[in-house]
Structure 1
Amino acid sequence: MLKVKYLWALLTLPLIWLLLLLAVSIPAVGHARGYIKVVKSDYSEQSAITSADSLNSDINRVFSIIDLPISKQISSLFGLNFSNIKNEITAAVSTGPILAGTDKPKRYLIAFQNSAEARGTGGILGAYAIVEFKKGSLKVIATGSNEPLYGSSLEKIPIDMPDEYKRLYGENPAILQNSNLSPHFPYGAEIWLALWKKEFGQSLNGVIAIDPTALSYILRSTGPITLNSGEKITSENLVAGTLKDAYKRFEKDNKARKQYLVDIMNATVKLLNSGEYSKLKMAQAIRDGIVANRILFYSTDESAQKKLSETRLGGFMSLEGNNEFRTVIQNIDAGKLDYYLDRSVEIESKSCEKDRQTQVRIRVTNTLKTGVGLSPYVLTRADKGKPASLVTGAHRFKVFIYGPTNARLISVSRENRTADLGGASVERKRPIYVADVDLAPGASEELLANFSGGVGKISFVDQPLVLETKLSIKDKC
């Protein structure tokens, strides 16, 4: 049995924590109200900066208490632990007056990424919205599927890109569907903005990317949405409904399928504008989306973009020294079989000498059991020109394994000895192993890359597809 003095300690620790938290939170509430007033009113830029700095000071004090071991346990128990997005919160506060249109209205392209067809930042742009922020208020200007945007595609990339980028991707990103081949989000965002301006003559202020999984997190906080047809979309059925079932349901009318995505987006925005949802649950949903790299933000404002680039929101591949690894899938066959793609990644230290050596293994598995019964649109093999009548369920894609900044790729191997080994490339000072993989239903393959270099603790940035990567890190250094 616990002694009385120990029991008393257990009971008083949470109380002490709560009192400390209240002591720093009460001033923060006042500063938060002042900050919101600045964002929504005609205040000078300096007033906005001062208000943001005051609120961020409060936020840092709050997190200094939340980061205490006992605090983490209590805050996690009540779903109040936001420590893993502290940098994103302070960056949002600092850039808020700029991004939210305090000085003048700001318009953004919202890119709804379809992760059933993989691209570097997640998935192909499947639907879009143009939204306007004016003094913190959100207004939807337009929504639509990707089809009307196809005319904006060009033969050459509309902005200047590094030579290494063109060696890796060629001019493919000039096509709207391929603009985000790179996992470095600013590249794709800048190309999308240039294509939009070319097609519509409008200069937008940035890009916000989101995918169906992130949207399902949001519906978890708001509750279901109801379409004009009466259909209810929930957090549980959204992902499968949009990325798998819709292809069969609208098999003979692809325009109707795309409109279905737009209808879901419109209903969600309407519910968000109503404000009829739990603010805490919404904060938790946004937190989960940011942590999973499913919510990204790019701004054409240099000062705002600099702060965003230092957080996960920016989707930024830093040129500074790091020990960061990535594995990226790029769909080649133009089908929608990435919905079924499973990835397991193991990163292990092999040497801790001056030039550290790290090994990355990735096993990719086509979890589809059979292609029979699936829509030809899902099973497309545009890479081989196979007739629609030939149903296989085989899926072809590229695997990119990225090493840290300024590291070296020293050796590679793959399980399929009959396939081409692949090759090496570089993007933003990071060595890459690139291989072409073709998997029949139920098949899998392991690919391996050894790197020399890297600074600091091993980290991994996951590409947000439908199935999350199963990750194992064995950092022995």
Structure 2
Amino acid sequence: MARTALALREAESAAGRLRSELAAGDEAATRSAGSRLAEQADVARRHSDGWGFAALTHLPVVGDDVDAVRRVARSVDVLGADALPPALGVLETVRGGGLRSEDGGIRLDTLASVSGPVTEAHDASTRADRAVAGVRSDRLVGPLSGPVADLQQQVQELDRSLGAAEKAVELLPAMLGAGDRREYLLVVQNNAEIRSTGGLPGSLSVLRAEDGRVELGKQGNASLFGLSADPVARLTPDEVDLYGRNVALDLRDTNLIPDFPRAASLMARFAEQRGQQVDGVVSVDPVTLAEVLRATGPVEAGGVRLDADNAPRLLLNEPYQRLRSNEEQDAYFQEVSRGILDALLSGQGDQLELVRVLSQAAQQRRFLVWSDSDDEQRRIEDTPIAAALPRDEGISPSVGLYLNDSTRAKIQYYLRYDADIRSLGCTAAGRQQVVAEMELRSDVPDDVARLTEFVTGDGTYARKGDDAMNLRLYAPTEGRLQALTVDGEPAGIKVGQDGDRQVSVLPLTLRPGESVRVRALFETRPGQIGDPSLQWTPSMEWGPTRATARNLCG
């Protein structure tokens, strides 16, 4: 048992290195980590396959645990033997520059050539994930519990990433205009004025794609497509109650709705009423554009030199302090956005790093895609790039925490927050008790007077320097909020519905330098005893926007 535990611990460490090296695109380090993973997995498998372990599987109490360890060891062995080789082949293709053509387009023939290896790697990771999905690591003996739990997470995350890659390789040729030109509405969300899916849709452009070549068309702010005297689509009573009629009258308010497919479909309708037919909507945020500069290198635009470190400030704060009119700010933002996007679309810089950045942005729900094709949308709707409101019709409950600005200003540049979720177990009726927490902090400087009204607002909706917003808490499907506190005190809320999900609306106001902790206790419907997950609005900080906890339901 001790030798198996040590081997699994070493395998878990190697799996973590493998995933990070794959993401970083370091082929030599990836091969090294993969070899170490295969070696330790083989040791664990051989030891757990021995006659001693086989005998232990028949003993009470420890039998199930020993069988679980054997399954984990075998699944890791599958990863090293079956998933790694094709993944390394794809890595070599991208690193060698085979993905981009000389004119900066995407080589559709290369996408076709890597489709098989990506599918092969994903099939292997899925087999490994299924093999360990039902293992209860919390019930294993001490030396095994931690490594097995970490391995399960590594395998699950790898499988999720490879699944998204497989969908991308499958759909990209058509979406990049293979044989038929496509046009998309490109939306840059402004995180400094927060919305459920990230930020205010501040900059709009048209993207044209044909035979793998993508170019940037006309640009403008929300007024380019964004206002309508009549609703651009029929809203449900729940949408009107929760988000107001303005989501169908002003494009800037569409993504008050946290379900990006719904918000994007409204954005497309705004474009269409101005005579711009689109095949879909693509969205990024300036936090992603800053990370893109790590791959492309710095760019000169708008009279400034932008790099990965200064871009958030130069995109989301400094213009509102320096430029004194909305027109100047819009012109500046369009120019610097075009500079970054031109570098992205031209294939400038390290292509493997660019793929890594966009993959991470998709995982963080910062790089989003909606297709007007029902068939395409069905195939991407379960991937992170779709940023759909999680559907939890199965046994695993999902909770959502989504923020929307109330100041009509750019004060959320100074907002920092994080969130987490945990299970408290299940009732006798099979209802799971789930706690979601979010801690928020205002980093607005003490000298509020030096900030312009573009940043603070004019005082109409919130006192200057205060960060006012609404937090919408989505309960699991057919579940309910049982208790809500802010810094330990009961909080007053408005309760509504979004279909079969209860939604609670909590107004929050933070003074400069103030922190608050929101704690929400949910109860699921009977039978939702799987691992609970939480997703929340992307922030100014590059990092996860989703968490999953181990259920404690026995």
Please give the TM-score of this superposition, normalised by the length of structure 1.
0.82
1: CA distance, partners of 2:419 / 2:88? 44
Equivalent of residue 107 in structure 1, options 183, 194, 201 = 183
Given that residues 326 and 461 in structure 1 are in contact (C-alpha distance below 8 angstroms), is that contact kept between their aligned partners in structure 2? Answer: yes
User: Counterparts of 2:477 and 2:540 in 1: how far apart (Å)?
Assistant: 27
State which of 359, 362, 367 in structure 1 corresponds to 2:435.
359
By how many angstroms is 1:165 displaced?
A: 1.5
Name the CA shift for 1:217/1:27 in 2 (closer, same or farther; >3 Å). closer
CA contact (8 A) 1:35 1:55 kept: no
1:121-200 mapped onto 2 (5 Å cutoff): 121-149=197-225, 152-173=226-247, 174-199=249-274
User: Higher helix fraction: Structure 1 or Structure 2?
Assistant: 2
Distance 1:208 1:294 in 2: 10
Q: Is the 8 A contact 2:434 2:532 kept in 1?
A: no
- Map of 2:362 onto structure 1: 290
> How far did 1:19 drift?
8.8
Aligned to 1:378: 455
- Amino acid of the structure 2 residue aligned with 1:187: R
Q: Quote how far apart the aligned CAs of 1:57 are.
A: 2.8
Structure-2 separation of matches of 1:320 and 1:383: 40
For the residues of structure 2 that align with 1:128 and 1:167, how far apart are their CA atoms?
28
CA distance in 2, matches of 1:34, 1:276: 14
Report what 1:434 is aligned to: 505
User: More deviation in 346-355 or 126-135?
Assistant: 346-355
| Structure 1 counterpart of 2:172, one-letter code | G
Residue identity matched to 1:122: G
Against the structure 1 CA distance between its residues 26 and 425, is the aligned structure 2 distance closer, same or farther, given a 3 Å change threshold? closer
Are 1:237 and 2:273 an aligned pair? no
Q: Deviations over 1:252-275 (max 9, x none)?
A: 233222212111221123223332
SS at match of 1:131: strand
**Structure 1 CA distance for aligned equivalents of residues 183 and 124 of structure 2:** 33
Contact kept in structure 1, 2:535 and 2:546, CA below 8 Å: no
In 2, Cα distance between the equivalents of 1:179 and 1:472? 26
Which range moved further: 278-287 or 441-450? 441-450
Could you tell me which residue of structure 2 aligns to residue 257 of structure 1?
Answer: 329
Q: How big is the shift at 1:348?
A: 2.8
Instruction: Compare 233-242 and 432-441 and name the one that shifted more.
Output: 432-441
Which digits, 9 at most, give the CA deviation of each residue in 1:281-314, with x for residues without a partner? 1111112211211100000011110111110100
Unaligned residue ranges in structure 1 (runs of 5+): 1-5
Question: Hey, what does 1:58 align to over in structure 2?
Answer: 120
- What is aligned with 2:18? none
Aligned twin of 1:464: 538
For residues 101-124 of structure 1, the C-alpha deviation after alignment (integer angstroms, 9 at most, x for no partner) is 113111001100000111111000
How much does 1:437 deviate?
1.6
Structure 1 residues 30 and 427 mapped into 2: Cα distance closer, same or farther (>3 Å)? same
Change (3 A) 1:393 1:194: same
Aligned twin of 1:402: 474
Structure 2: distance between partners of 1:23 and 1:439: 51
Q: Structure 1 pair 346/284, CA: closer, same or farther in 2 (3 Å)? A: closer
TM superposition shift of 1:84: 4.8
Q: Distance in 2 between matches of 1:341 and 1:402?
A: 21
Does the aligned pair in 1 maintain the 2:122–2:159 contact within 8 Å? no
Offset, 1:59: 4.0
Q: How many Å apart are 1:237 and its aligned residue?
A: 0.5
- The answer to whether structure 1 residue 326 and structure 2 residue 388 are counterparts is no
- Please give the alpha-carbon distance, in whole angstroms, between the structure 2 residues aligned to 1:31 and 1:379: 48
CA distance in 2, matches of 1:311, 1:470: 14
Does the 8 Å contact 2:87/2:117 carry over to 1?
no
Rounded Cα–Cα distance in structure 2 between residues aligned with 1:115 and 1:22 = 37
What SS does structure 2 have at the residue aligned with 1:276? coil
Instruction: Please name the residue that 1:338 is paired with.
Output: 412
Q: What is the identity, as a one-letter code, of the residue corresponding to 1:172?
A: N
Verify the 8 A CA contact 1:101 1:135 in the aligned structure 2. Answer: yes
**Shift in Å at residue 222 of structure 1?**
0.9
- Aligned pair in 2 of structure 1 residues 35, 346: CA closer, same or farther (>3 Å)? closer
TM-score w.r.t. the length of structure 2 is 0.71
Comparing 182-191 with 402-411, which one deviates more in the overlay?
A: 402-411
One-letter code aligned to 1:368:
V
Aligned pairs for 1:17-32 (under 5 A) are: 24=86
> 1:246 is matched by which residue type in structure 2?
P
Distance in 1 of aligned mates of 2:160 and 2:353: 16
Equivalent residue in structure 2 for 1:214, among 288, 294, 298:
288
How many residue pairs align between the two structures? 445
Compared CA separation, residues 338 and 25, structure 1 to 2 (3 A):
closer
The answer for the alignment partner of 1:204 in structure 2 is: 278
Task: Label 1:394 to 1:421 Cα distance change in 2 as closer, same or farther (>3 A).
Answer: same
1:192–1:363 Cα change, 3 Å:
same
Question: 2-side partners of 1:253 and 1:474: how far apart?
Answer: 47
The CA RMSD measured in Å over matched residues stands at 3.8
Deviations 1:213-235, CA, capped at 9 Å, x for gaps? 11111111111011263x21001
Go from structure 1 to structure 2 and tell me whether the alpha carbon gap of 1:225 and 1:397 turns closer, same or farther (over 3 Å shift). Answer: same
Aligned to 1:277: 349
Pick 1 or 2: higher relative contact order, CA cutoff 8 A, min separation 6.
Answer: 1
Q: What is the alpha-carbon distance in structure 2 between the residues aligned to residue 254 and residue 177 of structure 1?
A: 15
Larger strand share, 1 or 2: 1
- Secondary structure at the counterpart of residue 179 of structure 1: helix
Shift of 1:443: 2.3
CA distance in 1, matches of 2:464, 2:302: 37
Residue matched to 1:308 = 380
Residue 363 of structure 1 aligns to which amino acid in structure 2? E
